[in-house]
């Protein structure tokens, strides 16, 4: 390891240490690290955010160090040392973020009754503002939404609940489940309506 390489490594570590120290007070005061995708630790947008935030200061120090020692170390060595340091810092940050996200404690799964209640009430609220649902009675909407809420609770996972709590939006897998559950609930409620219309006993 030549002198430039050692100097660049030291500059990288110093810059990374300063960057982490700058973020530490905010993490300590809030008690959490955000953004952090515990549902998908390899979320590229989250990793990119942290590499950009924590890698900016090390990058400045790396470039400054390489520029200051380029004349004695030579162009070829300077390029390799600079690129190696940047890649090393980026991979270190990404690895730490992935490890922290994977190690985050999972929240307790909410009770089934809570899931059913929330899904059902949300469904009823949405159905009441859909124009084509204006002809449906409140009883029919309630039956449909109860079926929907109950079915959705059967397939919802803890990771999907955690993702929604953290990002205030549905996980990609949850969107597919919602669409499928909605169609199934509609089909079952429609069968019930037809039976009632024809006086067919359930």
pLDDT of residue 195 exceeding 60: no
Ranking 40-44, 80-84, 131-135 by mean pLDDT, the lowest is 131-135
Per-residue pLDDT band for 134 (boundaries 50, 70, 90) equals low
- How big is the chain, counted in residues? 202
Percent of the chain with pLDDT over 70: 83
Query: Which pLDDT score, from 0 to 100, does residue 24 have?
Result: 83
The predicted model scores a pTM of 0.57
Is residue 150 classed exposed, middle or buried when 0-12, 13-18 and 19+ CB atoms within 10 A define those classes?
A: middle
pLDDT of residue 10 exceeding 50: yes
DSSP string, 100-140: HHHHSPPPPPPPHHHHHHHHHHHHHHHHHTSGGGTTS-HHH
Average pLDDT on 33-58 reads 85
Give the whole-angstrom CA distance, residue 47 versus residue 5.
Answer: 26
Query: Which pLDDT score, from 0 to 100, does residue 70 have?
Result: 92
Query: Which pLDDT score, from 0 to 100, does residue 183 have?
Result: 81
Give the whole-angstrom CA distance, residue 126 versus residue 135.
Answer: 14
Query: Which pLDDT score, from 0 to 100, does residue 63 have?
Result: 95
Per-residue pLDDT band for 25 (boundaries 50, 70, 90) equals confident
**Alpha helices (H) along 31-171:** 44-73, 75-103, 112-128, 138-155, 158-167
Give the whole-angstrom CA distance, residue 98 versus residue 95.
Answer: 5
Domain ranges of the chain: 3-103, 112-197
């Amino acid at each position: 390891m030549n002198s430039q390489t050692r100097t660049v490594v030291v500059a990288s570590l110093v810059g990374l240490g300063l960057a982490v120290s700058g973020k530490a007070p905010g993490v300590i005061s809030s008690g959490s690290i955000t953004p952090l995708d515990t549902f998908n630790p390899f979320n590229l947008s989250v990793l990119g955010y942290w590499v950009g935030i924590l890698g900016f200061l090390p990058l400045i120090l790396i470039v400054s160090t390489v520029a200051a020692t380029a004349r004695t170390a030579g162009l070829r060595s300077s390029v390799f040392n600079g690129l190696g340091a940047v890649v090393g810092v980026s991979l270190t940050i990404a690895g730490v973020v992935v490890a922290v996200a994977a190690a985050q404690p999972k929240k307790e799964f909410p009770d089934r009754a809570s899931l059913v209640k929330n899904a059902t009430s949300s469904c009823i609220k949405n159905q009441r503002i859909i124009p084509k649902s204006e002809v449906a009675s409140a009883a029919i909407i309630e039956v449909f939404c109860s079926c929907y809420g109950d079915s959705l609770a059967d397939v919802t996972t803890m990771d999907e609940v955690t993702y929604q709590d953290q990002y205030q939006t549905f996980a990609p897998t949850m969107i597919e489940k919602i669409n499928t559950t909605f169609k199934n609930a509609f089909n079952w409620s429609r069968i019930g309506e037809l039976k009632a219309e024809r006086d067919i006993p359930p």
